[in-house]
Structure 1
């Protein structure tokens, strides 16, 4: 790759964007371990641990101060229900079995396996290769596992709520809806709640909360739809008295409500803020009902996460885990609250918080290996976009103690995927990789992101490729006026839906960007609409419009159709096993830009899906992206 005419590609280690750093791409990737599906069962703490160095996810157990890998050799724990998975294991405690047993979804074949850690016995419970499972929920009284089942049949995909017995038997509990999410049992096993919805609704636009009574063998004897309107329910659970509780955004934010059998609902004491992100995955718990009417609540205010105990009757509040700014997967053993948390110095940690004293112990996870003088801290970005509407994000100035800034730095814009997702003010080693080299980074929560209420989240309805792009361009203007960046040296990157925002930004602001990167990004929304998976089959219509009545929008907002307007060099990264954004999207976009004489480079990975997981590939992405940008500084 040669530098553009008039610019020099000669190395200058003092120029922001070319700073030398010992924090390598490999180090940034290796430091990005993550955890999910945290739960308390059988006197132990359990979780799934993603290990970038191996590119796999393993089940871990923590008991009596020691952690132990539980997953048998040759197996990885990961669900691909709805492609985004979640709820990939559950525990059947030893108090009701001869030994504790774990049911988990194996990544390779998506079948449920039953594993006994004590005896190392392993057997397959589900045996249909066309089915996938997720959202696992233990029903130990009946020796079975509840799960969301995804059946890939000729010409169609069906979803059901099923019970899989430990003897391999299978019982369908519900199959009339298009989608199912988050099955939860009451402590006595007599009640079952779940979320369901039908097309064209989405899990964060409009869903139903279902409440059922189970008979002795576990069949549904009665069921009812909890009264609701234009709202999205998520994360149902039962308190110790058997009362059904759930998050819903009927008040404008996802907050907890208590729902009575007669249909009445009472909002529980909580802040007017989102207590959960959009439910892309199964099994995410961001709040919890505890004993004596206490609630463990996490919520987001201005993009920053908070955690507290809140009494459901007196409204007394006790703030917890000061210094952390994101909280996920809350669970409790009655003595302590556990969660997966993150902070500006730590990308992911497992915390134990004593319920009586609030004392905090970190069980897993390390602070950044970078010294404080080298660590870029997130600064809240609040600015005005098109029409005077507010947009959000986080700004990271360049930081490297071995370098001194003598000029305004280049800017790298991160556009997150989803697009109904969010970024958080926590340690992201990818961002530190860039700030170490003299780039300023802005991580955008453009309008349409979660964490700022239902109205902000709904702002992308019909506006994808316009509203998000307006926020990108407005961020550049805002930071340029503040003198924080060199507005003539701006780069932009995005993955999945963020790749689409990136490419659309190159069309709307053709002179604003030096270079860009699209990671498994959308380039033709109409083509994506025709081939994408069922979970997102109606998402494009919600984001852009009905192609039958508004076909012009799909031409105007298609980077592929508008490829001749892109003059910015672009590097593409694509997994060839991607079932969400098919490789053909990237192939066609690369060919179109190449035909138009635009500098373009494509990197593909034969064994990667949607979202790269192998350490070598993640390292290669950072290294090649850096080299590409530096050629255009």
Structure 2
């Protein structure tokens, strides 16, 4: 078929905002449950998450009815919301945050919160040694006075509690027993195979878990963790996961050498000893944004773990021989939810041509079962295949990015004109982008736009030194790296420097505003639920988890006021000259609506109409969930780019 020449950005495309918004969300939290595989499945039509199972005959069906959405609000971003074994299953319900036993009609295991007094959630559940209790991380937030904003840190506590499976705790809060406490933040509670020890991760303000965490181990006596002691971590070492191999041995991912690599912790000796058993200059771990997230699993065949430097791989390491072999070779992105039982592994995987799906891998036969059939998609030829690239910047750093070229089976652009470019800046900012097949980006690439998603300095996957490039340079390094990527694509003839936009949400929204305020490279921008004023984005102005994050990203708000003003988009709102969109959820407690409103008001005072649309969405928080919300936002983006970039 001969393609018709048509200006970039104007190609007709069958992919619509409504279609993209209605797509099923990315599966989460897979688990091996005997001969079944379970996982969580987000549904944008209901803005909820359901618990699904695949049975041996290949049938996929819900575990719970539609009235039982799964999820919790642990540390603001959620945590592992369920435990499932062949004998028992429990889940936290996103509707009321209580813990329930899976049954024909779910039964509550934890009490309801007293209205207006506390808000409690439960995450990362495990089964106790007796099989009569679930041990879980309980997070309790004492609510502040009505209409007041106060620092959430002193009002929040976290502890490991035992919840009776009998349901006695549903009406009697005293039936829940505290098993252990240590730090302000807790994650990844694990019981040794003999039931005599408990391990967990902990950290305290003001550090974030990718700076310093402690791997704690305690003996279990009468159902209580006693004399907890740090066995790895501390002193600028981040431990992001630990799992038991036997009664005296833990495996852990830690970065004392600059990379999250695999360590073995021997507890049999008088003094615990930690040894790096798989030293490689590649990241095998992850930033802990969700309670109980995992990058490896201990199996009967060895350790299965994610390994990445750029594109990821799933590998099996044999602790007896040191041999490493690859698994799931057709896939190159693996979510931080690796789970295993015996010789079977469950992961969420994707690739440049495949959407995210749960996989079940038999380590004995190496058979890989796709738990969800690939959905038939009538517009596959319009979906761009991403390419991993990099550009060198000052200091010798290689900035990775992923380029999604314009793709349309019916149209091509003029040979003498490069395409308009959308630079996508991921949130976090301690996070990363992926080469996964993206229908969201296909909405733009199928119309003749190129998209570049940037792993700017501060991103994960490239070691601690690259991560720390963003320390105290937020609003500088992320902007400079994004501009460098755009310039490199322009030099290569793959992007039009005069028609380049920037877009992002949360920390990506901050970077978008900073790019518009501090750079003249971008013709327009789209901003989702941003931070605009770092001088107010801490303590009472955000949630507990990130309430001291600003110390890492910018500095001390009191001592470094000049630097705060220098990088603040709000302080430089008068210097924003490119049109932009502002899209904000009204229920966002992480980046509150005030951050967006004050920026828009400051710009409008100087340049009325420069903000093409400031849309606020009731019922939406940090990251939009409803399909109607996402469709409106994507259409607004298309309209902005058509009017500014041409199309």
Normalised by the shorter chain, which TM-score bucket? over 0.9
What's 2:198 paired with? 192
1:151 pairs with 2:140: yes
1:614 pairs with 2:629: no
What's 1:505 paired with? 515
Q: How many residues align?
A: 610
What's 1:69 paired with? 62
Distance 1:543 1:466 in 2: 11
1:232 pairs with 2:244: no
Distance 1:449 1:620 in 2: 29
Q: CA deviation at 1:223?
A: 2.4
What's 2:637 paired with? 625
Q: How large is the Cα RMSD of the aligned pairs?
A: 1.9
Answer yes or no: is the 8 Å Cα contact 1:342–1:348 preserved in 2.
yes
Q: CA deviation at 1:354?
A: 2.4
SS in structure 2 opposite 1:34? coil
Distance 1:368 1:284 in 2: 30
Which segment drifts farther, 473-482 or 128-137? Answer: 128-137
Distance 1:368 1:581 in 2: 37
Match of 1:358 among 342, 359, 366: 366
Q: Deviations over 1:496-542 (max 9, x none)?
A: 000000110112212x2221010001111111124111111110111
1:123 pairs with 2:108: yes
Q: CA deviation at 1:44?
A: 2.7
Q: Deviations over 1:327-358 (max 9, x none)?
A: 13222333432211011122211112221232
> 1:165-244 counterparts in 2 under 5 A?
165-166=164-165, 167-168=168-169, 169-215=175-221, 217-228=222-233, 229-240=235-246, 242-244=248-250
> 1:348-497 counterparts in 2 under 5 A?
348-364=356-372, 366=374, 369=377, 373-406=381-414, 407-497=417-507
SS in structure 2 opposite 1:441? strand
1:599 pairs with 2:591: no
Q: CA deviation at 1:32?
A: 4.3
SS in structure 1 opposite 2:326? strand
Distance 1:183 1:287 in 2: 15
Answer yes or no: is the 8 Å Cα contact 1:502–1:516 preserved in 2.
yes
1:111 pairs with 2:98: yes
Query: Using a 3 Å threshold, how does the CA distance of structure 1 residues 38 and 290 change in structure 2: closer, same or farther?
Result: same
Distance 2:375 2:260 in 1: 31
> 1:302-381 counterparts in 2 under 5 A?
303-328=310-335, 329-364=337-372, 366=374, 369=377, 373-381=381-389
Distance 2:195 2:34 in 1: 17
Answer yes or no: is the 8 Å Cα contact 1:93–1:140 preserved in 2.
no
Q: CA deviation at 1:326?
A: 0.9
SS in structure 2 opposite 1:239? strand
Distance 2:636 2:229 in 1: 54
Which segment drifts farther, 412-421 or 389-398? Answer: 389-398
SS in structure 2 opposite 1:268? strand
Match of 2:48 among 39, 43, 56: 56
What's 1:251 paired with? 257
Q: CA deviation at 1:478?
A: 1.0
Distance 2:449 2:619 in 1: 31
Unmatched segments (≥5 aa) in structure 2: 145-149, 170-174
Distance 1:537 1:368 in 2: 44
Query: Using a 3 Å threshold, how does the CA distance of structure 1 residues 249 and 226 change in structure 2: closer, same or farther?
Result: same
Answer yes or no: is the 8 Å Cα contact 1:324–1:341 preserved in 2.
yes
Match of 1:263 among 251, 258, 272: 272
Unmatched segments (≥5 aa) in structure 1: 1-11, 95-99
What's 2:160 paired with? 161
4+ aligned runs moved over 6 Å, structure 1 = none
Distance 1:365 1:138 in 2: 32
